[in-house]
Structure 1
Amino acid sequence: MKPAAAGAPYYVPPEPKRLPSFLLAVGVHAVLLAFLYFGISWQSNTPVAVEAEVWDVKVETAAAQELPPEPAPEPPPQPEPLPTPRAVEPPPVEQPAPTPPDIALEREKQRKEELKKQQEQEKRELAEQKKREQEEARKKELAEQKKKEEAERKEKELAAKKEAEAKKKEQEQKLAEEKKKKAAAAKAEAAKLEKFRQEELKRIAGAMGAGGNAEKSSAPKADSGYVAAITAKIKSNTTYAGNLDVPGNPKAVFKVDQLPTGEIMSVRLAKSSGVPEFDRAVENGIRKASPLPKKKDGTVERNLEVNFSMKDLD
C-alpha cells in the first residue's frame, strides 16, 4: 500500500472480509475428516474363517491342533487437529501529522463557510423582516382607507339626512303657506260672496219697496218651466232610502240663495217635514244640484223657496 501524500486526507484501509477465512477453515476440516476416514478403512483386515471337522475317536489323536486366534489390530493413531487459522489484522497505518499550513487553511475554510452561512441567515432574516413590515404597512393602509370610507359614508348619510330634513321642512312650510293662502282666499271669497249677497238683497229690497216681501216676489211662480227644471234636477240628486208611503205626504220647505251663475250659496231648512232623514236627503240633493238651471233668458232667481214632498220622489 502506498503511503499517503503530504497534505492528503488520512485513508483508513478497509477491514478484511471474514467469509474467505471461514471458507478456508471449513475446507481444512473437511480434508482432515476425509483423511481419517480413508486411513481407517484402508488398515482394517477381514477376520479369518475357522472350519472344524468331526473325526472318529480312534483317529482323534491324528486330528490337527487348533490354531490360536490372531490378536486384534491396533487402531491407527489419530492425527492431531490442525489449528484454526485466525484473521490477520492489517498493520496500523501511521497517519502523518498535519503540517501547520494545512491546519491554517482548514480553519480559514471553516471560517469562510461559517461567515457565508451567517450572511445567508442575516439575508433571510432581513427579507422576512421586510416582508413583515410590508404586510403591516399594507394592513395599516387598508385600515386607514376603510376608516376614511366609513367617515365619508357617514358624512354623506348625515348630509343626505340634513338635506331630506330641509326638504321636508321646506315642503311643510310650503304646505302651511298654501293652506294659509287657501284659507285666506276662501275667507276672502266667502266675504266677497257674502258682500255680494247682501248687496243683491239690498238691491232687490230697494226695487220692491220698503213694504215689499222679497221672498214672495222672488218665488218662481212666473215661470213654470224654470220651477220644473229646478225640481227635476234636485230630484235626480236626492237619494232617500226610507218609506215614501207616509200618511199626509210630509213636505219640507227650504230657502235657497244662489249666485247669478246658478251656484248655490246657502240652503236653509224653513219648515221640516217631520221626518229628519227625509229633510237631510232633500238638503243633500239641493246642494248636489248646484249649479241650478237658469231661465230661458239666462237669468236666475237669487232667492228660491223650494217645497219638496215625499210623493215628489216617486
Structure 2
Amino acid sequence: MKPRRPAPLNALRAFEAAARSLSFQTAAAQLFVTPAAVSHQVKHLEEHLGVKLFHRGHRAVELTAQGAALADSLAEAFGLLDLALDRATAPTAAHLRVSTVESFAAKWLAPRLHRFHRDHPELKLRIDTGNEHSDFARDGVDVAIRYGAGGYVEAEKLMDAPAFPVCAPALLHDSERPLTQADDLRRHTLLHDESAAGRSGVPDWPAWLRAAGVDPIEAERGPVFSSIYLAQEAAIAGHGIALGVAPLVAEDLRLGRLIRPFDQILPNAYAFWMVRKPGVASPAVAAFCRWLRQEADDARAT
C-alpha cells in the first residue's frame, strides 16, 4: 500500500473554519489571515486530496458531499486536539465539564453541589447551560444532563419528571379568588413554559385541566416563558400558577416558597437523563455520575 503524503495541517484548519462558517472571509477573520490565503489553502487541500470540497458561487460557497463529510470529521478531530491542548496547560488539575439545561442547573444541581465539592475538592467543575445537544468532542463536555424522551447514546435515566400545579402560599389566602378546587383556576393567571409546546406526552395546562375534570377552554391564557425555571420563578413571586416538574420544584416546596394547591399529578413522557461521552469513563466522570445517582436516590426517598 502506497504511503499517504503528510496532511497539510494549515490547509485542513483553513478548510474546517471555512466549512463551519461557509465563508472564506469569516474564516480568514478567525484565523487572522486574508480571504485569499484561506482560498489558497482550500485549493491546496483539494489538490492534495484530488477531490472538490466546495462549490464556489459569486458571493457564497457551498460544501460538496465530500467536503461535508470531511468537515464533520475535522470538527471532531480539532475539537479533540483543542481539548487535549487545554488540559495540557493544567496537568495537575482534574477538570470536569457538565452541560445541562438552565432549569435543572438552577433548581436541582446548584443547591446540591456543595456536597460534591465537599467530597471531591480535587475536581474543578464547570457547569454550562443550554438546550442544544452537546458535541462531546468539540465542546469538551464530559457529562450532559438532559430533559427529554431518551434515545441518547450512553444515557441513563436519572429521574422521572411528573408535573403538578404550584403557586406561592399567598395565593391561598386571596379571599376574592379562592383556590380550593381545580375549577377555581379560571380566576387565576396560568403560567406556561415552552418546554411543553408541541411535545407529545409532556404535561401542559390543557392536559392537566382535562385530567382534573375541568374544561380546558381557557387554558392557553397567561404568559409564556422560555424555560421552566422562569415560569417557576414567576410563581414564587406570586404572579400566577405554574405546572411544576417534580424534581425542579422539590427544593422550593421544602422551603415553603411554593405549595401544591391540588393533588392531581400528570405523568411525563420526558425525564432527566445523564448522558456520558462514549467510551471508558475517567475517574472524575465516574465520581460525578455516582454522586448524581446518589443525590437522585436521596431525593426520591424524601
Q: TM-score scaled by structure 2?
A: 0.18
Choose between structure 1 and 2: higher helix proportion.
1
More strand by share: 2
Higher relative contact order by CA 8 Å / sep ≥ 6: 1 or 2? Answer: 2
**Bigger Cα Rg:** 1
- With normalisation by structure 1, the TM-score equals 0.18
